[in-house]
A and B are shown apart, each in its own frame.
Chain A
Amino acid sequence: MSRVILQTHDLTVRFGGHVAVDHVSCAFKTGELTAIVGPNGAGKTTYFNLISGQIPISEGRVELNGRDITRASVSQRCDLGIGRAFQLTNLFPNLTVLENVRLVIQQRAKLGFSFFSMADSHSEITDRALSVLDKVKLFSLKDQAVSALSHGNQRKLEVAMLIALDPAVYMFDEPTAGMSVDEAPVVLDLIAELKAEKDRTILLVEHKMDVIRTLADRIIVLHNGALAADGDPAEVMASDVVQEAYMGKELTDV
């Protein structure tokens, strides 16, 4: 059973005169994986930012489960079930890998304002964190400081933190960028697994076509901030808009 969980109505943001997201109306259903594609600077990340509340909305509304969350703060939206991973890695650099994930789970468990318990005594939280790390194959690095991780591993941790958050709506922003060909599948498999659980809503920004082809139920195309196409993957991919503005000429023709 799938129902609409997240909906944007005429969502718009302007930076000075520049309309980065231009009246985008779109609905997302549970159990559905929507890929968002578009040229660089099309407004994909900004669209995410508007949904998760990172930047204030100029016009329009965001609804979650029928509730208007346009004015809600980032952390409130997170509590309501919107979670995201960032395009540019964004972690707690001087804490360990484990601590990074633990912090997320601890917030889920609403333990943040516990002043007098000992943090390390909450073993159920540590256990969950370790199991998440295991899933993304970072278990062996759990005691490393994040700043010492290679780029690819930081990307994996970014994904791990989103999975640890376990929100209703997952937003991945180019999760595999900079990941090597043998590592990327680990993350993609995880996303596929989430999708299989049916009640998750997944939004995925990706530039790699093969990934989109295998994972996406639906594609929306943003172009110059506006919604340029929305529909079945194969159909959208074949359209002129996408071919011309986005794919460019095939690499081999260069």
Chain B
Amino acid sequence: MIVKLLSGDTPRSKILGAILLMILVALALAPFLFPGIRSVDTAARICVFILLVASYDLMLGYGGIVSFAHTMFFGMGAYGVALASTHMGRGYDALIVGAVAGAVLAAVVAFLIGLFSLRVRAIFFAMITLAVASAVAVLVSQLSGLTGGEDGLNYQIPRELTPAFKFGGEVMGVKLNGKLLNYYLVFGGSLILFLVLLRIVNSPFGRVLQAIRENDFRAESVGYRVVNYRTAATCISAAVAALAGSLYAIWLRYVGPDTVLSFEIMVDILLMVVIGGMGTMYGAVIGATVLVVAQNYLQELMEVASNSVEGVPLLPQLLDADRWLLWLGILFILSVYFFPTGVVGRLRAGK
């Protein structure tokens, strides 16, 4: 049954299995295990990013397609929900319309980009996606009347999903309110879509993608229409990314270019995929968890470290919480160094 849910793609390493299980449990029970606004927020982000990164892995790890437009698709989903909620007023219909419209738009745009440019070399495809993504970012900033420009949009979502909605009292010291429901919406949505992705990469379609990644020329000559497969992968990936964006928008109740469209997020996604392990899907889980936690808590950790080395020359300066980026950078380098095939690849090899 579990194997079937995982589409036969088991973690294939005891340690990996254990880690994944831990993450799953932690996320499933996050509001109870780690009560507190910030930690639940972090958990929700992890869920969204797992999904986002997994959708990227479908394209990159399985299809070998390097795209820099993934945040654009993410943003389409997010803005879909935001705009629908702004214009249709608060309500579930707005969420659904926004999410579906976002996903469809993302798929269509992916289709168009794919049709145009998946024929060219990988690196040029990457550059074209970069170009399109930055053009869209410019567009969002320019159409400030519609999109709120640089400032983004704040909007309302159904009351049942906000902290203002209370039902019952407390369970284990956790207030039962709309925020909790919202969290489980994000968690459940991400989980289901992740399992769907897992199924897709283990289907015959997924195998073809891998073959194309390995040798597109040969794949074409045994009869696979490479462009069609790549385009399909890009579309699916884009649509799922958009759905991840919608979940994020529902969670945050805010969208803005820095939050869903920036190149920084694109880099985060890449990093998560690679740290976790490309072409494994489970890598997304590990990469997203590690990185989101690091981004959120590294600073606090360093605060402590910095205080403990006070008096030593230069060290406190380097360990200053404001220098957290420095250490994140070092973490980047070390992780690529020590996990050349990602954490998942490493764990599987050393089983």
**Which A residues lie at the B interface, using CB under 8 A?**
52, 54, 73-76, 78-79, 83-84, 86, 90-95, 99, 102-104, 106-108, 111-120, 122, 161, 165
**A94 & B204 in contact (Cβ 8 Å cutoff):** no
15 contacts between A and B (CB under 8 A): A54-B221, A73-B220, A74-B220, A74-B221, A75-B221, A75-B224, A75-B226, A76-B225, A99-B211, A107-B224, A115-B205, A115-B236, A118-B203, A119-B206, A165-B223
Asked if B218 is at the interface of the complex by the 8 Å CB criterion, the answer is: yes
Asked if B7 is at the interface of the complex by the 8 Å CB criterion, the answer is: yes
Q: Chain B interface mostly helix, strand, loop or mixed?
A: helix
Asked if B155 is at the interface of the complex by the 8 Å CB criterion, the answer is: no
Alpha-carbon distance between A103 and B226 when the two chains are bound, in angstroms: 13
**B221 & A117 in contact (Cβ 8 Å cutoff):** no
- Give the contacts of B108-130 with A (CB-CB under 8 A): none
B208 neighbours in A (Cβ, 8 Å): 103, 106-107, 112
Alpha-carbon distance between A122 and B214 when the two chains are bound, in angstroms: 22
- Give the contacts of B199-217 with A (CB-CB under 8 A): 199-200, 202-208, 210-211, 214-215, 217
**A112 & B224 in contact (Cβ 8 Å cutoff):** yes
Known A-B contacts A93-B215, A106-B204; the reply to A79 vs B223 at CB < 8 A is yes
B215 neighbours in A (Cβ, 8 Å): 90-93
Closest Cβ of chain A to B8, distance in Å, is 5
Closest Cβ of chain A to B6, distance in Å, is 10
In-complex Cβ contact of A113 among B214, B218, B221, B232 (8 A): B232
Known A-B contacts A75-B223, A107-B223, A118-B203; the reply to A112 vs B8 at CB < 8 A is no
In-complex Cβ contact of B202 among A75, A103, A119 (8 A): A119
B223 neighbours in A (Cβ, 8 Å): 75, 78-79, 107-108, 165
Asked if B2 is at the interface of the complex by the 8 Å CB criterion, the answer is: no
Alpha-carbon distance between A114 and B203 when the two chains are bound, in angstroms: 7
**B7 & A118 in contact (Cβ 8 Å cutoff):** yes
Known A-B contacts A90-B215, A93-B215, A95-B211; the reply to A117 vs B204 at CB < 8 A is yes
Asked if B171 is at the interface of the complex by the 8 Å CB criterion, the answer is: no
Q: Count B interface residues, CB 8 Å.
A: 28
Alpha-carbon distance between A198 and B29 when the two chains are bound, in angstroms: 67
Alpha-carbon distance between A97 and B132 when the two chains are bound, in angstroms: 39
Number of A-B contacts defined by CB within 8 Å: 92
Asked if B1 is at the interface of the complex by the 8 Å CB criterion, the answer is: no
CB-nearest residue of chain B relative to A117?
A: B203
Closest Cβ of chain B to A167, distance in Å, is 9
**A161 & B222 in contact (Cβ 8 Å cutoff):** yes
B214 neighbours in A (Cβ, 8 Å): 92-95
B224 neighbours in A (Cβ, 8 Å): 75, 107, 112
Asked if B332 is at the interface of the complex by the 8 Å CB criterion, the answer is: no
CB-nearest residue of chain B relative to A102?
A: B207
Closest Cβ of chain B to A253, distance in Å, is 41
Q: A91-B215, A119-B203 known; 7 other A-B pairs, CB under 8 Å?
A: A75-B225, A78-B222, A99-B207, A103-B219, A104-B222, A107-B224, A112-B205
Alpha-carbon distance between A102 and B208 when the two chains are bound, in angstroms: 10
Alpha-carbon distance between A83 and B221 when the two chains are bound, in angstroms: 8
Closest Cβ of chain A to B208, distance in Å, is 5
Alpha-carbon distance between A64 and B210 when the two chains are bound, in angstroms: 31
Alpha-carbon distance between A71 and B211 when the two chains are bound, in angstroms: 25
Alpha-carbon distance between A118 and B9 when the two chains are bound, in angstroms: 10
Known A-B contacts A103-B211, A114-B205, A119-B204; the reply to A165 vs B8 at CB < 8 A is no
- Give the contacts of B169-213 with A (CB-CB under 8 A): 199-200, 202-208, 210-211
A165 neighbours in B (Cβ, 8 Å): 222-223
Q: Mark B226-244, 1 if CB is under 8 A from A, else 0.
A: 1001001000100000000
Alpha-carbon distance between A207 and B346 when the two chains are bound, in angstroms: 46
Alpha-carbon distance between A245 and B189 when the two chains are bound, in angstroms: 71
B217 neighbours in A (Cβ, 8 Å): 90
Closest Cβ of chain A to B3, distance in Å, is 10
Alpha-carbon distance between A30 and B158 when the two chains are bound, in angstroms: 70
In-complex Cβ contact of B200 among A84, A106, A112, A115 (8 A): A115
B200 neighbours in A (Cβ, 8 Å): 115-116
**A78 & B221 in contact (Cβ 8 Å cutoff):** yes
In-complex Cβ contact of B218 among A83, A90, A108 (8 A): A90
Closest Cβ of chain B to A47, distance in Å, is 16
Alpha-carbon distance between A180 and B210 when the two chains are bound, in angstroms: 32
Alpha-carbon distance between A103 and B204 when the two chains are bound, in angstroms: 8
A73 neighbours in B (Cβ, 8 Å): 220, 225
